Homo-oligomer: A and B are copies of this chain.
Amino acid sequence: MQNKYTDIYNKIADKIRKGQFAPGTKLASEHELMKQFDTSRETIRKALNHLAQNGFIQKIQGKGSIVLDAVKPDLRFSELLSFKESAEKMNKHARTHVEELNLEVAEDEICNHLQIPAGSVVWKVHRVREIDGERIILDKDYLNSSYVKHLSKAICEKSIYQYIEQELDMVIGFAKKEIVIEDSQEEDDRLLEMNGHTNVVVVRKFVYFDDTTLFQYTESRHRPDKFNYVDFARRAPGK
């Protein structure tokens, strides 16, 4: 347990995920939850607001907190997950093939993306993701070697994020993402089982540490028929 409200959040979220709190039913009132968790109302409210933000519940003034039919809130576009984490949450059989792993002088475009001087040395990692026996995603990662000094095939096969967080003890903060559709390139055709598809879904991602330093640029190239993203969106209040 890190703090009370994430603890309460996790306990309630788990019960909703497991169906112990059924969709359509109401949670106990905030007053009741205060007693159950022996805490103050603001702390309960922090947990409940977080649950509402993530699509677990809907709070209605005067009524209570209604459990929603989860959108698999685990597979969120707005979450920043590694491939390994996503695959595990989806219960997929996944394998990673490291096709390329080099510390090299980066192309100008990559240096530009990483906001470092042209001619800088970066880690270039190309990995193919095999899911249920099919090679359907090509991940092209570029990492600022000033922050991530060492990488290995084993690390890339497992999870770079896990290595950064657990071994390097750096904290990943946030990312900017973009989705576009593009024509497939020679590399996609060579490394993926394209099954005749001529375009790919490209997810571009800029990933930052907690202290706002940019350390990674990634292009995740998906075979179009296997691409699927879900999300939960709230209507911005106001006006």
Task: Please state if A201 and B173 are interface contacts (CB–CB under 8 Å).
Answer: no
Task: Please state if A58 and B174 are interface contacts (CB–CB under 8 Å).
Answer: yes
- Closest-by-CB residue of B relative to A9 is B238
Task: Please state if B237 and A6 are interface contacts (CB–CB under 8 Å).
Answer: yes
Chain B residues within 8 Å of A233, by CB:
77-80, 174-177
Instruction: Name the one of B58, B80, B231 contacting A235, with C-beta atoms under 8 angstroms.
Output: B80
Chain A 157-211 residues near chain B, CB threshold 8 A: 171-181, 199, 201, 208, 210-211
Instruction: Name the one of B58, B211, B227 contacting A181, with C-beta atoms under 8 angstroms.
Output: B227
With contacts A77-B78, A78-B77, A224-B199 known, is A231 near B10, CB below 8 A?
no
Task: Please state if A68 and B234 are interface contacts (CB–CB under 8 Å).
Answer: no
Task: Please state if B79 and A228 are interface contacts (CB–CB under 8 Å).
Answer: no
Chain B residues within 8 Å of A180, by CB:
227-228
Task: Please state if B201 and A235 are interface contacts (CB–CB under 8 Å).
Answer: no
Residues of A within 8 A of B (CB): 2, 6, 10, 24, 42, 53, 55, 58, 60, 66, 68, 71, 77-80, 171-181, 199, 201, 208, 210-212, 224-225, 227-238
Instruction: Name the one of B2, B211, B225, B237 contacting A238, with C-beta atoms under 8 angstroms.
Output: B2
Task: Please state if B58 and A234 are interface contacts (CB–CB under 8 Å).
Answer: no
Chain B residues within 8 Å of A210, by CB:
58, 60
Task: Please state if A232 and B174 are interface contacts (CB–CB under 8 Å).
Answer: yes
Chain B residues within 8 Å of A232, by CB:
78, 174-177
